[in-house]
Amino acid sequence: MDYRNKAINCVKDTVLPIQMRQFEECGRSLDEQYKRYGNTEYLLAKVLDPGHVYEIGYPECVCPDVLSGKIQNPSHCECSRQSILYVLGNLLPDKKIEVEILETVLGGAEKCRFKVTVE
């Protein structure tokens, strides 16, 4: 499955504009954005190393395909990883961004967590 295109189609008209607006409101600073908006019912975001390392996650799975019961394979969480890469790539187009899956609901965890490194 092409998770990259699936992820882009999922977030380009929903999550991306919201994240972009928040990013602009916060002076184009991920640190400020995550401090202000990083603890909601849809997003958990922590600054681990300012300007460099973050933890992003979801308190529960938010994927419509998983919630509908169509998908149960943890490999599908690559789609979430790709969506984070896509959104952050749009916010920080001049940076190298890596996203690592730490744990996911489909993998048996209570929430989904990803480690983000910005170079």
For 84-106, letters b (16+ CB in 10 Å) and e give bbbbbebbeeeeebebebebbbb
- The long-range contacts involving 64-68, CB below 8 angstroms and separated by at least 24 positions, are 64/10, 66/105, 66/106
Q: How many domains does the chain have?
A: 1
Task: Name the residue range of residue 18's domain.
Answer: 3-118
In the 8-state DSSP scheme, what is residue 9?
H
- Regarding pTM above 0.85, the answer is yes
Return per-residue pLDDT of the chain as tens, 119 residues: 799 999 999 999 999 999 999 999 999 999 999 999 999 888 899 999 999 999 999 998 888 899 999 999 999 999 999 999 999 999 999 999 999 999 999 999 999 999 999 99
CA 8 to chain centre: 12
